[in-house]
Chains A and B, each alone.
Chain A
């Protein structure tokens, strides 16, 4: 297609109106930012942004509402982790007993190397016990590489309490409220 470009007038060819227009626009922005305080900069760390829900921060081990730990050392997260950041030592037959009544197995040692973690969320997706969740921490720092390998105690402490999503329970309830469902529930 042919675009009609009008030939420039004499004043436009001298560029003077464009020059003056440029001065006006930049002067307006200059005085607004300098004296009006209308800058778009967010001055981190004094001002932080609001972390949206479902944000994939650092993965931590969580407890349920009763205060019990949930991880049963199935090692599924270790096997699914793409950069192999999770390292679990299972208890073995002579290992320590679980510290809660509803499960028998607890990992002997559970380490996540935060320098290898890519925050993909696969471990959260695969965990059958909803024991590992990606929470809202995004700035992890340490002075040595060893400091950034978080062990079980640290992960539990940082994880806090999380009720879990219980996806299948909700889906079951949803299915029961429907009149027409293909599978017998």
Chain B
């Protein structure tokens, strides 16, 4: 029993889950504030615990940027009544939110969020089949939605759940196939080695921009975000697959969606934008000092936050796709494009060798 490994892993898991959930809560706030500014209004700027008004300058500043709003939201979710509608299968009803959020949290287990701090690798588990594990886990996310739509004993959540799951499985295919050129170029599925390759040869987005494009759009579809949130929105007028769920279960769905966004953003940064590396100041190499290690983690976080801002920005910018246009795009345009991309990359690599 390698106690040292177990203890360090447990500490890393606790820290990563804490950080990810904190980022999810503040991603909700960021979405509300950014969407407000895009729409010429001010987002939440009043929620504050009572003692904050006595802190001179920082207190009012934090209140005005809505820093304490996620605390208020969390409190609301905990204090709301958690009911179970009549006529539902209780097992599925209680299981569905859990299945919706667990894959999102499992994906971050393989993502390297830094190089190393001292002797500790900054990745929870450095799997040699990292990408394959990620796509397997992402496919499990569909089950949560299917179960949620089915378990709520009502028509509209059922339809919303079916549409959403159909959309998700169609875009998983193009997402998986768009990563194959990355594998062909790098030669390994291990995410740390992909980052190492990018540190030496430059970011992968420059080598296969088409594959980044397909992966970006497929991750919008996977997380049910605009412009692909038809299952969530048309029934937003009615409900969607999370209609019948109240406080904590709805919070789990909500957190699951934002955790999926964070996991997709982290995957994009790792696969295409060099992860924790920067091509300047010698930050391309694994950290030798503690300061460099922390700098790597901060670089990763900043890149991921930029992608989150892109996710949020795109939502308030474009109209949403109609459902048949969405499926048409997924099957008839992205799958051939991804296949052609693989073929062209393979031919170029063969001609080079």
Chain A interface residues toward B at CB < 8 A: 19, 22-23, 25-26, 29-30, 32-34, 38-41, 43
**Distance of A19 Cα from B42 Cα, bound (Å):** 25
Q: Which residues in A have their C-beta under 8 angstroms from that of B39?
A: 29
Instruction: State how many angstroms separate the Cβ of A173 from the closest Cβ of chain B.
Output: 50
Assess whether B323 is interfacial by the CB under 8 Å rule.
Answer: no
A28's closest neighbor in chain B, by CB?
B38
User: Nearest 3 A-B pairs (CB), nearest first?
Assistant: A33-B37, A22-B317, A41-B41
- A26, B41: Cβ atoms closer than 8 Å: no
Interchain CB contact under 8 A, B40 and A39: yes
The SS class assigned to the B binding surface is: loop
Chain A nearest Cβ from B153, distance in angstroms: 38
17 contacts between A and B (CB under 8 A): A19-B318, A22-B318, A23-B317, A25-B317, A26-B313, A29-B37, A30-B37, A30-B38, A32-B40, A33-B37, A33-B38, A33-B42, A38-B40, A39-B37, A39-B41, A40-B40, A41-B41
What's the count of A-B pairs with C-beta under 8 Å? 35
Tell me whether A26 and B40 are in contact (CB under 8 A): no
When distances are taken between beta carbons in the complex, the residues of chain B under 8 Å from A41 are 41-42
Residues 306 to 339 of chain B near chain A (Cβ within 8 Å): 313, 316-318
**Which residue on chain B has the smallest CB distance to residue A33?**
B37
B42 (CB) vs chain A CBs: closest residue: A41
A40 to B38, CA, bound (A): 12
Question: Least Cβ distance of B141 to chain A in Å?
Answer: 27
Which residues of A lie under 8 Å from residue B316 when comparing CB positions? 26
Please name all residues of chain B whose beta carbon is closer than 8 Å to the beta carbon of A23 when the two chains form the complex: 317
Q: For the complex, what is the distance from the CA of A40 to the CA of B39, rounded to whole Å?
A: 9
B38 pairs with A43, CB closer than 8 A: no
Question: Contacts A38-B40, A41-B41, A43-B42; is A30 near B318 (CB within 8 Å)?
Answer: no
